[in-house]
Amino acid sequence: MRGAEAFIKALEYEGVKVIFGYPGGALLPFYDALYDSDLIHILTRHEQGAAHAADGYARASGKVGVCVGTSGPGATNLVTGVATAYADSSPVIAITGQVPTRLIGNDAFQEIDALGIFMPIVKHNFQIRRSKDIPATVRAAFEIAKTGRPGPVHIDLPKDVQEEEFDIESNPIPAKVDLPGYKPTLKGHPKQIKMAAKAIMAAERPVIIAGGGVNISNATEELLKLAELCGIPVCTTLMGKGSFPEDHPLSLGMVGMHGTKPANYAVSECDLLIAIGCRFSDRITGDISSFAPYAKIIHIDIDPAEIGKNIDVDIPIVGDAKLVLKDIIACLLKSCGTDGKGLNNQNREGWLRYLESLKRSNIPKMDYEDIPIKPQRIVKELMNVIQELKLKDRFIVTTDVGQNQMWMAHYFKVHLPRTFISSGGLGTMGFGLPAAIGAKIARPESKVVCVTGDGGFMMNIQELATIADYGIPVVICIFDNRTLGMVYQWQNLFYGGRQCNVTFGESPDFVKVAKGYGIEAQRVTDPKDIKEVLREALLSDEPYLIDFVIDPSEGLPMVPPGGKLKNIIEPVRAPPRERIPSFQEIKRKLLGETREKGLSKDGPQEMGTPVERETY
């Protein structure tokens, strides 16, 4: 059997049904073998789209997503997508073609050190040098990607290895792989579990931060049980959205830089913080020296390296969130009787009342009538339509990065795990659209909506062709403010309103663009029309794009970077002032300056010194 065929057999053995990719010279044998296979291959329009789609597929389904790109530029185009998956612990297998082994190291056509390039952005990677190693390597790659703390695994596959014949009989796919250096700890240490249970019973002002790990380990049921059993309020990180129903009385919403006031206050005032499957990124903690200053901290994480990395913890528990929570609950029930009586510590009532009143006095205003539309209104109408169409348990939203993402994170209530898909750790603009493709392929029965900014949308706009050609019915909602809104907000807040390269002009007309791709599209400028258009889009079984023209001066409340969580500031609502110079002006400036300096037109050009400034 040829190596490429064996590779595809090995993928099928892992239960892979769909792969996302883009062919090329170094992948010709691979695609030739695909010809005879039942694997579904989605041809994206850019390898980055393939990687994000595989990632979206993984996040929506919990299964491993697979993407493929050719050697050289195909591999480098995958990089952003793989790094995005790595930052959010998403199980993705990235396959790259490679030049034949005899040419490796010779700077051959489209040769690149893919192994070296991917090394720092994957959980592990392999270069297969003999076809007989294919079955065991693919097995190992999937094992590594999906177990423990999941993450992307990269396989570099030279062309001659794809072509080489080998005897699959004597090199069968092994049922188990031998990885002597890889043994994730799943069960929490009993002593630590007991300590945690004791701390939970003693706490008067406890709060839970649920991170992405809760979603990944399918621990939402256990989280709900623990919270209800002991009356512990729950806030989530961005990645943790969906791990706890946000309409639950104990839900405080998201915590951190763009967190809600109740969540940020609860964390700042609690005496016990139970952090589950979260890594205390700077977007969550703000200033670490004043983070949760009165709290004893329990940190549950499957990755021991996350514990104590950013925050000192009192009770570390290494293990899988689901198993650890189960054990903690059992331990609590054992010490309090199976009815759980006595777990609702009486002294907590004041705490819960306090947070309840914070919640009540901080219900965000969303029903704006303004033109241009306020984004909050769109989020509200989206939630209404989901409810009216009874889509609650078959609805997935993907977001892009920027204000659109944070408006959704802050205002949009999520109820179920794996239904809010967003690039957290890397914050990759251009993620939302291809991730929606992956999510829809993973869960074809669900309605998939991609909420995106105009900037991020244009970063992978080519995937409209993928959506159109396959007829993938995703609904694209552009929060069109004609600005790089998030950066614009920071410049207005922290750089004295010196708006610099954050404004777009009138181009393009997104409705015409969509129609050019053969996708139904509408522009919405009046808040009264939002609901009807959303309904129409969600009821249609075709791809649909809605261009919501929104107020560019609208911002988000936020904690300044490195600030204290309670110090939430309001955005400066500044209108766009930046002027985009025309090419004619630029040309005049270029030619004028060179003449002044007495240089010839073709003479050396002086480069401006870049100004250092913080970007989002």
Q: What are the distances in angstroms from CA 538 to CA 374, 473, 530, 543?
A: 21, 9, 12, 9
Residues that bind Mg ion (CB under 5 A): 453-455, 481, 485
156-195 positions binding another protein, by CB under 8 A: 179-183
Nearer to Mg ion, 351 or 457 (CB): 457
The answer to whether the CB of 110 falls within 8 A of the CB of 147 is no
Q: Check binding of 616 to ligand TPP (CB under 6 A).
A: yes
The residue type found at 421 is I
Sole binder of another protein in the list 304, 518, 560, 571 (CB under 8 A): 304
The residue type found at 206 is P
- Element holding 336 (H helix, E strand): helix 321-336
Total number of residues binding another protein (CB under 8 A)?
26
Give 85's Cβ-side CA count (13 Å radius): 42
Nearer to Mg ion, 133 or 554 (CB): 554
Q: How far is the CB of 86 from ligand TPP (least distance, A)?
A: 15
Question: What whole-number distance in Å separates Cα of residue 297 and Cα of residue 275?
Answer: 7
Catalytic residue chosen out of the listed positions 486, 491, 548, 558:
486
Q: How far is the CB of 47 from ligand TPP (least distance, A)?
A: 15
Write the CB contacts of 63 (distance below 8 Å, at least 6 apart in sequence): 15, 57, 91, 146, 442
Nearer to another protein, 272 or 451 (CB): 272
Q: What are the distances in angstroms from CA 398 to CA 52, 78, 412, 558?
A: 11, 20, 12, 22
Please say whether the dihedral angle defined by the alpha carbons of residues 590, 593, 597 and 601, taken in this order, is positive or negative: positive
Catalytic residue chosen out of the listed positions 110, 132, 194, 536:
110
Q: What are the distances in angstroms from CA 600 to CA 10, 121, 190, 592, 605?
A: 62, 46, 77, 11, 10
Q: Check binding of 427 to ligand TPP (CB under 6 A).
A: yes
The answer to whether the CB of 513 falls within 8 A of the CB of 433 is no
Q: Check binding of 15 to another protein (CB under 8 A).
A: no
Q: How far is the CB of 563 from another protein (least distance, A)?
A: 13
Q: Check binding of 402 to ligand TPP (CB under 6 A).
A: yes
Q: Check binding of 454 to ligand TPP (CB under 6 A).
A: yes
Nearer to ligand TPP, 236 or 481 (CB): 481
With CB cut-offs between 5 and 8 Å by kind, which of another protein, Mg ion, ligand TPP, none does residue 181 bind? another protein
Sole binder of another protein in the list 106, 170, 289, 584 (CB under 8 A): 289
Nearer to Mg ion, 525 or 567 (CB): 525
With CB cut-offs between 5 and 8 Å by kind, which of ligand TPP, another protein, Mg ion, none does residue 487 bind? ligand TPP
Q: Check binding of 105 to another protein (CB under 8 A).
A: no
Q: How far is the CB of 555 from Mg ion (least distance, A)?
A: 12
Q: Is 109 a catalytic residue?
A: yes
Q: Is 47 a catalytic residue?
A: yes
Q: Phi/psi at 403 (nearest 5 deg)?
A: -65, -40
With CB cut-offs between 5 and 8 Å by kind, which of another protein, Mg ion, ligand TPP, none does residue 486 bind? ligand TPP
Q: How far is the CB of 505 from Mg ion (least distance, A)?
A: 13
The answer to whether the CB of 556 falls within 8 A of the CB of 258 is yes
Nearer to Mg ion, 5 or 454 (CB): 454
Distance of CA 421 to the CA centre of its chain: 5
Nearer to Mg ion, 421 or 486 (CB): 486
Question: What whole-number distance in Å separates Cα of residue 361 and Cα of residue 354?
Answer: 11
* Residue corresponding to tokens 């309670």: 566
Sole binder of ligand TPP in the list 324, 429, 461, 534 (CB under 6 A): 429
Count other Cβ atoms within 10 Å, centred on residue 581. 10
Q: How far is the CB of 13 from another protein (least distance, A)?
A: 21
| DSSP character at residue 51 | H
Question: What whole-number distance in Å separates Cα of residue 93 and Cα of residue 155?
Answer: 7
Q: Check binding of 118 to another protein (CB under 8 A).
A: no
Question: What whole-number distance in Å separates Cα of residue 293 and Cα of residue 267?
Answer: 9
Edge-first strand listing for the sheet containing 520-524: 420-421, 395-399, 447-453, 474-480, 544-549, 520-524
Angle of helix 47-61 relative to helix 463-470, nearest 10 degrees, comes to: 60
Q: Check binding of 567 to another protein (CB under 8 A).
A: no
Q: Check binding of 284 to ligand TPP (CB under 6 A).
A: no
Q: Is 110 a catalytic residue?
A: yes
Q: Check binding of 399 to ligand TPP (CB under 6 A).
A: no
Sole binder of ligand TPP in the list 54, 93, 401, 513 (CB under 6 A): 401
Q: Is 98 a catalytic residue?
A: no
473-532 positions binding ligand TPP, by CB under 6 A: 479, 481, 483-487
* Burial state string for 500-525 with b = 16 or more CB within 10 A and e = fewer than 16: eebbbeeeeebbebbeebebbbbbbe
Q: Which residue is nearest to ligand TPP (CB)?
A: 453
Sole binder of another protein in the list 312, 367, 388, 585 (CB under 8 A): 312
Q: Check binding of 49 to ligand TPP (CB under 6 A).
A: no
Write the CB contacts of 586 (distance below 8 Å, at least 6 apart in sequence): none
Distance of CA 518 to the CA centre of its chain: 28
Which residues are catalytic, by number?
Answer: 47, 109-110, 159, 486
Binding residues (CB under 6 A) for ligand TPP: these are 400-404, 427-430, 453-456, 479, 481, 483-487, 615-616
Per CB under 8 A, residues contacting another protein are 115-116, 119-120, 123-124, 127, 144, 179-183, 288-291, 293, 303-305, 308-312
